[in-house]
Amino acid sequence: MFPISNPPAHPRPPDTGTSRAVDLLLTDRESAALLHVAVSTFRRYVTKGLVPPPIKLGGASRWPQSEILAVIEAAKDARAR
């Protein structure tokens, strides 16, 4: 008899020749943690325009991780001036 192989638990999607990184959507708590500030401080940053406004999904507010990382990079660039 031939051995029967089990398919992988999470098969990979077919390769389409293009690869894109997934931009995670973060909550206010996750975004604040990434910036090492309190959630209330993070919300104040959003109100003041220091952080981009959220993407609204139904009643949920989410921030793309790339945008939070861009805020950090901008602060680093400003520090170097």
Domain that holds residue 48: 25-80
pLDDT digits (tens, 9 = 90+) for 19-37: 667 899 999 999 999 999 9
* CATH number, residue 39: 1.10.1660.10
- Residue 39 in any domain: the answer is yes
What per-residue confidence (pLDDT) applies to 81?
Answer: 77
pLDDT < 70 positions in the chain: 1-20
Q: How many domains does the chain have?
A: 1
Q: In the sheet that 60-64 helps form, which strands lie side by side, from edge to edge?
A: 25-26, 60-64, 55-57
At a CB cut-off of 8 Å and minimum separation 6, what does 38 contact?
Answer: 32
- Residue 4 in any domain: the answer is no
Query: Which pTM was predicted?
Result: 0.72
- Residue 13 in any domain: the answer is no
- Residue 15 in any domain: the answer is no
